[in-house]
Structure 1
Amino acid sequence: MTDKSTSTVRSVDSNLFITVSGPPGCGATTLCDGLSEALNCGYVSGGDIFRDLADERGMSLSQLIAKTDETDEIDRALDRRLRTIAEKWGAANNPFILEARLAGWLAGNRADLRIWLDAPDEIRVERTRDRDEMEAEMRVREVSEAGRYKSYYNIDVTDQSFYDLSINTARWGKDASLEMVLTAIDEYEPTDDEGAFKTDDVAV
């Protein structure tokens, strides 16, 4: 396969509130970095907020992850912060990106564009080899998270029906994936939008 990656990111003028979701290793951070540069806006990552929670409690990431299986307090604290951010930016009429596993659910109808990223398991594992978390731990965490979200909020994280775009990032390079999303943003006309999926607010 020919490498068609480029170092130039085109700029897009937009005031959309965008959510990006997907499992570990899906390419969310890479996409959000590119979107942030193209839209000249900031973004918040659920992973960063989770790290903040760990620091506030004087715990390592592994310790905090283990704690989530013992109590719902950690997950709900994270989700409340994400919901607050979604509420703020959903009413701001400024471009913004919120990245988290439940970002699309927590933002609800405040989100203008909801994106789901994924890739085959073996690709995601390879992409995350330099992280502290081992493959087995990552797989256990994914199953555990899915069970907790279903228990807490009755959310099926495998349900992609309400996402506006779903991209397998292993089939396209990072620049091509970014270009697909930028094209969708650039071509979006709110007055012509008849396809938005309405979602109820998640009680966190």
Structure 2
Amino acid sequence: MSTDPTAVGEIDTTLFITVSGPPGCGATTLCNQLADAMGCPYVSGGDIFREIAEDQDMALSQLTAQADSSEKIDRAIDQRLQQIAEKWGTANKPFILESRLAGWLAGERADLRIWLDAPEDVRADRIEDRVETEAEMRVREVSEAGRYQSYYQIDIDEREFYDLSINTARWSKRGVFELVRTALEEYDAEIDEGAFSTPAVDP
């Protein structure tokens, strides 16, 4: 048996999973663990956003400000994520889609929708070594929430359709993974009585 506390075993599943949450919630860590265990790829909306910033030689705060003044950036990212969700929703292969709106954009194509969160001070500590500062993190959260409401009439605080909602400050990284692993391994489509419906989003 491995003594590595971060080591993960294989998960035999074909589920399409979305992972969402605010900056510093632990989504990247969980997605990396799940991708390794499930032997599948994952796509992150944050990575797409950062790639755009790099391509335009802009800081994240600058691109956020530009996104505030124009719908084009957000809608382009969301359209791409929705296209990916449409592809993998019918593939019958394991896949992970991660973004603040992943659960909304994937809708009922997703087999399992996960929301991660943690207290603001914990999340701020977690992003200390990132390019984004704590102040920028808070500005981005407020900015994104306003844009989602304006563009799609989405209240990001509406979370009833998520299948799992986890406060990642209460468990270790391995512990959070094990919670999700149990959900995946115990899932049985034959006894699934149905997910909450998700309003359609049209980027």
Asked if Structure 1 and Structure 2 have the same fold, meaning a TM-score greater than 0.5 normalized by the shorter chain, the answer is: yes
Equivalence for 2:128: 129
Equivalence for 1:27: 26
Q: Look up the equivalent residue of 1:95 and give its one-letter code.
A: P
What is the distance in 2 between the residues matched to 1:47 and 1:101? 9
Bigger shift: 44-53 or 181-190? 44-53
Indicate yes or no: 2:58 matched with 1:84: no
When normalised by structure 1's length, the TM-score is 0.94
Q: Tell me, what secondary structure is at the counterpart of 1:41?
A: coil
Given that residues 85 and 97 in structure 2 are in contact (C-alpha distance below 8 angstroms), is that contact kept between their aligned partners in structure 1?
A: yes
Given that residues 5 and 173 in structure 1 are in contact (C-alpha distance below 8 angstroms), is that contact kept between their aligned partners in structure 2?
A: no
What is the distance in 2 between the residues matched to 1:57 and 1:203? 26
When normalised by structure 2's length, the TM-score is 0.95
Q: Tell me, what secondary structure is at the counterpart of 1:136?
A: helix
- Shift of the alpha carbon at 1:198? 1.5
- Shift of the alpha carbon at 1:132? 1.6
- Shift of the alpha carbon at 1:64? 1.2
Q: Look up the equivalent residue of 1:169 and give its one-letter code.
A: T
What is the distance in 2 between the residues matched to 1:7 and 1:26? 17
Give the fraction of aligned pairs with identical amino acids, expressed as a percent.
64
Equivalence for 2:162: 163
Q: Look up the equivalent residue of 1:189 and give its one-letter code.
A: D
Deviations 1:107-136 (A, max 9, x none): 001000000000000000000011122212
Given that residues 45 and 99 in structure 2 are in contact (C-alpha distance below 8 angstroms), is that contact kept between their aligned partners in structure 1?
A: yes
What is the distance in 1 between the residues matched to 2:199 and 2:47? 26
Alignment of 1:1-204 (within 5 A): 6-204=5-203
Deviations 1:144-197 (A, max 9, x none): 111110111011111110000000000000101000101100111112111311
Given that residues 20 and 116 in structure 1 are in contact (C-alpha distance below 8 angstroms), is that contact kept between their aligned partners in structure 2?
A: yes
What is the distance in 2 between the residues matched to 1:7 and 1:122? 24
What is the distance in 2 between the residues matched to 1:7 and 1:140? 32
- Shift of the alpha carbon at 1:200? 2.9
Q: Look up the equivalent residue of 1:192 and give its one-letter code.
A: I
Bigger shift: 92-101 or 190-199? 190-199
Given that residues 105 and 201 in structure 1 are in contact (C-alpha distance below 8 angstroms), is that contact kept between their aligned partners in structure 2?
A: yes
RMSD over aligned Cα atoms: 1.4
Given that residues 5 and 175 in structure 1 are in contact (C-alpha distance below 8 angstroms), is that contact kept between their aligned partners in structure 2?
A: no
Q: Look up the equivalent residue of 1:107 and give its one-letter code.
A: A
Question: Which stretches in structure 2 are left out of the alignment for 5+ residues?
Answer: none
Question: Which stretches in structure 1 are left out of the alignment for 5+ residues?
Answer: none
Pairs aligned (count): 201
Q: Tell me, what secondary structure is at the counterpart of 2:69?
A: coil
What is the distance in 2 between the residues matched to 1:25 and 1:184? 23
- Shift of the alpha carbon at 1:90? 0.6
What is the distance in 2 between the residues matched to 1:55 and 1:133? 14
